[in-house]
């Protein structure tokens, strides 16, 4: 197969100066869009979902690279654009891993349209993709290294370099690390396939090419000798336990629990040179999550924030994972700033079909406060404290305390408020919530501190950008509380409790939260499906009746 530039707009821009091999073969017909490609891959991968923990997964994938294996799978791989074929092969390897190991390694690989966009953003912000030295610290299926190698080789050929010189130079310009040895072997095999198939480079020259080395990038001995200009990648997403030594070593960035990707960001900013870029795909939860307050502050001290782009969908982006994710591009500062100023970053949305829509600029707070994506500010703003309320998360975790749940009312039992009981019309429907799981009552001692006996507002704690609005709130009135003696919140509910007798009415507060502009403000700072109670307490909403607000 001949060298073909990536088929997204971003990919074509990347390779506008590259030259294809001199003897092109006929182009293969490819699916019309990313959705069609993903569906095709998904159907072909079904057979691998029942073959978990296959010890020969590397050998199976290496055979597929050679065109050997189940005929339908080989045909599917041959029919895809080369970048998507590589992605499908890496996904097959992931599906054949033990589930726990896959989760711990974060083996959820980056689809080509995401790769194209992030690499294009690097170029836009000053990276010389041909001559700069670039590292992927969690190289996985070589999703970034293969297209970067393709670009470099094409450009060097255009300049007249011989294949032997190109192979030597390539291994100096691209570095990958991967903790899973077999996955590193697969990544290197995909690089070699590209060089042989697309550029017709002799197998004898390609045989020794090894861009991806086996090793843990969080171990300083793995990366300290790397000579790089920039770093790009999709580091693993994994929340660390408090006793994890990696969490202790990076306590400067942790307000609560620490996620593995945050450690990768911190390490990268210590290892790229001044002016070097760190371009990552990471979860969007860091934007406003209170547990990332120190992370946001520390990153701004060390780097300029150049880009924060959203990925439009949270489902069907990464195989078998539902994740709100975004792109971030950072440039290491010449000198660490102890008191950085507020800043702005370019921001937009990448859609599933590869379209990128610029939204303007994100506001970067200097004090660790939430970073706000583009959007109109709330004109008459107030926060929950101005309404006379505080936020608390529902106490009862249903799947951990199933014996406390009951179908019928009885002595010592109180209404359990499920998220399902909060309707999109802003009404509390206890019967609807109770029918959801068939358990509408929970037992508790009468003096339990989590029993709510005051008129309040309940809010769905989990939502997504795909909903008509992110916030759904409903008031619970005194009549219901008096009848049943109080309520208990399930863990997927946030309860807004009045702080004093003169607090605004629950009805008015629920109405303010259910307005479209409240959800818009939440979208600007909350990139995750789960809404933080602390974040909700700081969310700008309409001022309460009788108050002008800011």
**533 in the same domain as 393:** yes
Q: Is residue 403 part of a domain?
A: yes
pLDDT above 50 for 57? yes
Q: Is residue 276 part of a domain?
A: no
pLDDT above 70 for 84? yes
Residue 15 is predicted with a pLDDT of: 38
Residue 418 is predicted with a pLDDT of: 96
Residue 6 is predicted with a pLDDT of: 34
**387 in the same domain as 368:** no
Specify the DSSP class assigned to residue 507: H
Residue 153 is predicted with a pLDDT of: 97
156 φ, ψ to 5°?
Answer: -65, -35
State mean pLDDT over 89-111. Answer: 79
| Cβ-contact 159, 18 below 8 angstroms | no
**418 in the same domain as 364:** no
| Rounded-to-integer distance, Cα 250 and Cα 260, Å | 10
**194 in the same domain as 115:** yes
User: Where is average pLDDT lowest: 246-250, 277-281, 495-499?
Assistant: 246-250
Q: Rounded to two decimals, what is the model's pTM?
A: 0.82
State mean pLDDT over 134-141. Answer: 94
Please report which confidence band the pLDDT of residue 95 belongs to, taking 50, 70 and 90 as the band edges: confident
Residue, of 47 and 436, whose pLDDT is higher: 436
Residue 314 is predicted with a pLDDT of: 56
Q: Is residue 270 part of a domain?
A: no
Please report which confidence band the pLDDT of residue 465 belongs to, taking 50, 70 and 90 as the band edges: low
**220 in the same domain as 88:** yes
pLDDT above 90 for 431? yes
State mean pLDDT over 424-453. Answer: 93
Q: Is residue 425 part of a domain?
A: yes
Among 167, 202, 234, give the residue marking a domain's end.
234
State mean pLDDT over 502-519. Answer: 95
Write the pLDDT tens digit of every residue in 149-166. Answer: 999 999 999 999 999 999
Write the pLDDT tens digit of every residue in 207-263. Answer: 999 999 999 999 888 988 899 999 999 998 878 776 777 777 777 777 767 888 999
Write the pLDDT tens digit of every residue in 158-199. Answer: 999 999 999 999 999 999 999 999 999 999 999 999 999 999
Residue 316 is predicted with a pLDDT of: 55
What burial letters (b/e) apply to 487-504, b meaning 16+ CB within 10 Å? bbbbbbbbbbbbeeeebb
Query: Number of folded domains in the chain?
Result: 3
Q: Is residue 175 part of a domain?
A: yes
**135 in the same domain as 250:** no
Q: Is residue 274 part of a domain?
A: no
3-state SS of 293-349 is HHHHHHHHHHEEEEEEEEECCCCCCECCECCCEEEEEEEECCCCCCCCCCEEEEEEE
| Cβ-contact 138, 235 below 8 angstroms | yes
State mean pLDDT over 64-88. Answer: 89
Residue 467 is predicted with a pLDDT of: 65
pLDDT above 70 for 120? yes
Domain housing 96: 9-234
**424 in the same domain as 302:** no
State mean pLDDT over 352-377. Answer: 88
| Rounded-to-integer distance, Cα 545 and Cα 215, Å | 60
pLDDT above 90 for 306? yes
| Rounded-to-integer distance, Cα 341 and Cα 47, Å | 53
Among 345, 375, 405, give the residue marking a domain's end.
375
User: Where is average pLDDT lowest: 135-144, 315-324, 404-413?
Assistant: 315-324
Write the pLDDT tens digit of every residue in 229-239. Answer: 999 999 988 78
Q: Is residue 513 part of a domain?
A: yes
Mean of the per-residue pLDDT values of the chain? 86
| Cβ-contact 306, 364 below 8 angstroms | no
**323 in the same domain as 195:** no
**216 in the same domain as 169:** yes
pLDDT above 50 for 415? yes
pLDDT above 60 for 273? yes
Among 324, 347, 375, give the residue marking a domain's end.
375
Residue 59 is predicted with a pLDDT of: 92
**433 in the same domain as 496:** yes
**478 in the same domain as 343:** no
What residues have CB less than 8 Å from 350, skipping those under 6 apart? 113, 114, 117, 309, 310, 311, 312, 327, 356
User: Where is average pLDDT lowest: 39-48, 54-63, 115-124, 305-314?
Assistant: 39-48
| Rounded-to-integer distance, Cα 118 and Cα 478, Å | 53
Q: Is residue 271 part of a domain?
A: no
**499 in the same domain as 398:** yes
């Amino acid at each position: 197969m001949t060298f073909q530039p990536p088929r997204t707009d971003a990919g074509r821009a990347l390779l506008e100066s590259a030259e294809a091999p001199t003897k092109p073969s006929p182009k293969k017909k490819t699916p019309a869009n990313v959705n069609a490609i993903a569906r095709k891959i998904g159907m072909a991968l079904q057979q691998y979902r029942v073959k978990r923990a296959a010890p020969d997964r590397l050998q199976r994938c290496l055979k597929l690279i050679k065109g050997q294996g189940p005929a339908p799978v080989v045909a599917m791989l041959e029919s895809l654009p080369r970048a998507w074929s590589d992605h499908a092969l890496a996904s097959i390897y992931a599906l054949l891993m033990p589930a726990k190991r896959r989760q711990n390694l974060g083996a959820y690989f980056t689809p080509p349209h995401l790769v194209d966009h992030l690499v294009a953003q690097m170029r836009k912000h000053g990276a010389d993709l041909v001559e700069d030295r670039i590292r992927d610290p969690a190289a996985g299926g070589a999703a970034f290294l293969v297209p970067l190698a393709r670009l470099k080789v094409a450009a060097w050929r255009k300049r007249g370099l011989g294949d032997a010189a190109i192979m030597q130079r390539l291994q100096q310009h691209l570095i990958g690390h991967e903790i899973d040895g077999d996955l590193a072997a697969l990544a290197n095999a995909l690089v070699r396939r590209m060089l042989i198939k697309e550029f017709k480079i002799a197998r004898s020259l390609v045989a020794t090419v090894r861009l991806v080395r086996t090793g843990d990038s969080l171990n300083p001995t793995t990366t300290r000798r790397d000579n790089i200009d920039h770093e790009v990648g999709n580091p693993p997403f994994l929340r660390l336990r408090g006793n994890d030594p990696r969490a202790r070593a990076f306590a400067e960035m942790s307000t609560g629990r620490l996620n593995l990707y945050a450690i990768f960001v911190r390490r990268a900013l210590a290892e790229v040179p001044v002016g070097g870029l760190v371009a990552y795909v990471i979860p969007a939860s860091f934007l406003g999550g209170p547990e990332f307050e120190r992370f946001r502050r520390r990153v701004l001290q060390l780097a300029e924030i150049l880009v924060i782009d959203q990925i439009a969908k949270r489902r069907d982006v990464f195989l078998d994972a539902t994740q709100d994710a975004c792109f971030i591009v950072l440039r290491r500062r010449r000198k660490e700033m102890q008191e950085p100023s507020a800043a702005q970053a370019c921001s937009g949305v990448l859609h599933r079909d590869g379209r990128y829509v610029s939204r303007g600029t994100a506001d970067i707070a200097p004090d660790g406060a939430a970073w706000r994506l583009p959007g109109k500010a709330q004109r008459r703003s107030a926060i929950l404290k101005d309404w006379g309320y505080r936020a608390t998360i529902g106490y009862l975790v249903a799947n951990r305390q199933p014996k406390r749940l009951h179908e019928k009312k009885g002595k010592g039992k109180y209404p359990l408020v499920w998220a399902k009981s909060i309707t999109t019309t802003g009404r509390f429907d206890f019967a609807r919530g109770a029918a959801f799981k068939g358990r509408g009552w929970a037992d508790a001692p009468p003096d339990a501190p989590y029993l709510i006996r005051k008129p309040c507002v309940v809010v769905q704690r989990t939502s997504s950008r795909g909903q008509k609005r992110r916030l759904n709130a409903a008031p619970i009135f005194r009549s219901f509380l008096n009848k049943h003696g109080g309520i208990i919140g399930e863990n997927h509910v946030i309860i807004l409790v009045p702080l004093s007798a003169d607090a605004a009415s629950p009805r008015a507060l629920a109405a303010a939260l259910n307005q479209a502009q409240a959800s818009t403000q939440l979208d600007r700072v909350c990139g995750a499906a789960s809404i933080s109670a602390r974040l909700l307490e700081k969310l700008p909403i309409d001022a309460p009746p009788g108050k002008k607000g800011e």
